[in-house]
Amino acid sequence: AYGVQQASQRFFGVDARQLDPAQSALLVGLLKAPRRYSPYHHPDNALGRRNVILQVMLRRGVIDQVCRWLST
C-alpha cells in the first residue's frame, strides 16, 4: 500500500482519520521494514514494533496513556 490512506484501508478497513493510536503506530512501524514488520507475515514482529512506536509516542507526549494499547 502506498500512502497512509491506502494503508489504513488495506490493513484496517477505515479512513486514516479514524485510526486509533495502536493502528497508527502499526502503520508507522511498517516504514522501517515493511516485510519484517508485516502483520500478515510476521505478527509478533509487527506487535513488537508497534509497541516500540507507542512508547516513543508516549515519551514525546503525542499520547498520554499507553497501557490500554499495549494489551491489544
48-53's contacts with Cβ under 8 Å and 24+ in sequence apart are 50/22, 50/25, 50/26, 51/25, 53/25, 53/26, 53/28, 53/29
Q: What is the mean pLDDT of the chain?
A: 89
DSSP assigned state of 46: H
Q: How many residues does the chain have?
A: 72
Query: pTM value?
Result: 0.84
Q: In this predicted model, what pLDDT tens digit does every residue of 40-64 receive, in sequence order?
A: 999 999 999 999 999 998 899 888 8
pLDDT given at position 61: 87
Number of Cβ within a 10 Å radius of residue 23: 19
In degrees, rounded to 5, the angle at the alpha carbon of residue 33 between the alpha carbons of residues 9 and 31 is 50
Backbone angles phi, psi at 16, to 5 degrees: -60, -30
- Of the pLDDT bands very low, low, confident and very high (cuts 50, 70, 90), residue 71 is low
